[in-house]
Amino acid sequence: MTTLRTGLIGSLAIFFSMVLNLGICAAQEYPSKPIRFIVPYGAGGAADISTRVIAPRLAAAFGQHVIVDNRPGGGTIIASTLLAKAVGDGYTLMNANVTFSANPALHSKLPYDSIKDFVPITLIDLMPNVLLVHPSIAATSISELIALVKAKPGKLNYASAGIGSANHLNMELLKSVTGINVVNIPYQGGAQAMTSIVGGETQLLFVTVPPALPHIRSGRVRVLAATSTKRIATLPEVPTISEAFLPGFDFHEWHGVLAPAGIPKEVVSRLNREINKILMVTEVRERLSSIGAEATGSTPEQMAQHVQSEVRKWKKVVKPVD
């Protein structure tokens, strides 16, 4: 019996050693073919830009093509479904954002599990917003705006790039903590939403700094506050919502890399390491800064905690739309 047990233990040790060596070999050989990097939006937006600034440098580091695959539509659900169904081998990645984390709250049924079907690789960046009002609105501070809206419930509206967009989610967060009632006017994209407030079709808009800056400087819109907990470097005179009205209020758009479930840990570690190196490159940080994003990077564990925290937050803030 002792001999049998010893033999069994020895066999198991050899088996697990072989499995470990296979994982190490897989990581060492990875990648041996092109990588697909899915973007849940069309070309030209922040998600597309942040992906395309990383992709060629990742290709250079790996010696393989990294193909950017734009799959817009469905509020990122189309792209997320593609990723969930992909093989977990490290050859399919996706640039996820705040909409991805809000979808479990917005939709009663999704064709995937936002936590179990994906493996976080790293956070890419954070993007604070600013709150704009049309000059016709008689408010010069966030406190004055809240008082004005409460005096006219349901009479003012705000622009968004659609249900689940950052503009929409940011305002829903503000509504949830202040009890204000403003009406969402959804457009087909951020550019149309900006045009609507400049033209006076809408009165309020949360947006990142770069597209807003020229309109702020020209006086075509008024900026009341920033959504980050610290002031934005390009608009140091603008107070944050946290300091001026609601201590602790914090909203950032964000981008991060996900892979399908089942990806080997060794491959996750290598992807994390290489992408974080890229995010330290000066040219990369400057390009991200030009779209209002601060390059961050993270460990896979930090990215996982971020996604889980975001999913929990939006389940408390927004209601299902279907």
73 domain residue, yes or no: yes
**In whole angstroms, how far apart are CA 178 and each of 133, 157, 247?**
17, 16, 12
Q: Is the pLDDT assigned to residue 11 strictly greater than 90?
A: no
Distance, CA of 250 to CA of 225 (rounded, Å): 12
Q: Is the pLDDT assigned to residue 174 strictly greater than 50?
A: yes
Cβ atoms of 276 and 57 closer than 8 Å: no
27: confidence class by pLDDT, cuts 50, 70, 90: low
CATH number of the structural domain spanning residue 30: 3.40.190.150
Q: Which of 244, 273, 297 is the last residue of a domain?
A: 244
121 domain residue, yes or no: yes
Does residue 226 sit in the same domain as residue 305? no
Q: Is the pTM of this model over 0.85?
A: yes
List the structure tokens of 241.
């919502």
List helix spans (H) across the chain: 2-29, 46-62, 77-85, 98-106, 142-151, 166-178, 190-198, 209-218, 241-244, 265-278, 282-290, 300-317
> Tell me, what's the pLDDT at 2?
47
CATH number of the structural domain spanning residue 185: 3.40.190.10
Distance, CA of 164 to CA of 72 (rounded, Å): 14
> Tell me, what's the pLDDT at 233?
92
Q: Which of 244, 267, 285 is the last residue of a domain?
A: 244
179 domain residue, yes or no: yes
Burial of 192 from C-beta contacts in 10 A (0-12 / 13-18 / 19+): middle
**Beta-sheet pairing, 204-208 with 118-133:** antiparallel
Does residue 115 sit in the same domain as residue 259? yes
Distance, CA of 172 to CA of 12 (rounded, Å): 55
Q: Is the pLDDT assigned to residue 17 strictly greater than 70?
A: no
> Tell me, what's the pLDDT at 322?
87
DSSP 3-state of 224: strand
Does residue 109 sit in the same domain as residue 17? yes
Tell me what the mean pLDDT of segment 185-195 comes to: 95
5 domain residue, yes or no: no
Q: Which of 189, 222, 244 is the last residue of a domain?
A: 244
> Tell me, what's the pLDDT at 13?
46
131: confidence class by pLDDT, cuts 50, 70, 90: very high
Q: Is the pLDDT assigned to residue 50 strictly greater than 70?
A: yes
Q: Is the pLDDT assigned to residue 6 strictly greater than 60?
A: no
Closest CA to 278 of 296, 301, 266, 291: 296
Beta bridge partners of 68: 37
97 domain residue, yes or no: yes
> Tell me, what's the pLDDT at 12?
44
> From its phi and psi, is residue 248 left (phi > 0), alpha (psi between -120 and 50) or beta?
left
Mean confidence (pLDDT) of the chain: 93
1 domain residue, yes or no: no
Q: What is the number of domains present in the chain?
A: 2
Q: What is the pLDDT of residues 196-254, one digit of tens each?
A: 999 999 999 999 999 999 999 999 999 999 999 999 999 999 999 999 999 999 999 99
Q: Is the pLDDT assigned to residue 15 strictly greater than 60?
A: no
Tell me what the mean pLDDT of segment 124-150 comes to: 97
Buried b (16+ CB within 10 A) or exposed e, 210-244: ebbeebbeeebbbbbbbbbbebbeebeebbbbbeb
Closest CA to 47 of 258, 313, 223: 258
Distance, CA of 167 to CA of 186 (rounded, Å): 9
> Tell me, what's the pLDDT at 28?
65
| C-alpha Rg value of the chain to the nearest Å | 23
Q: Which of 19-23, 81-85, 229-233 has the lowest mean pLDDT?
A: 19-23
- Which residues constitute the domain of residue 201? 128-244
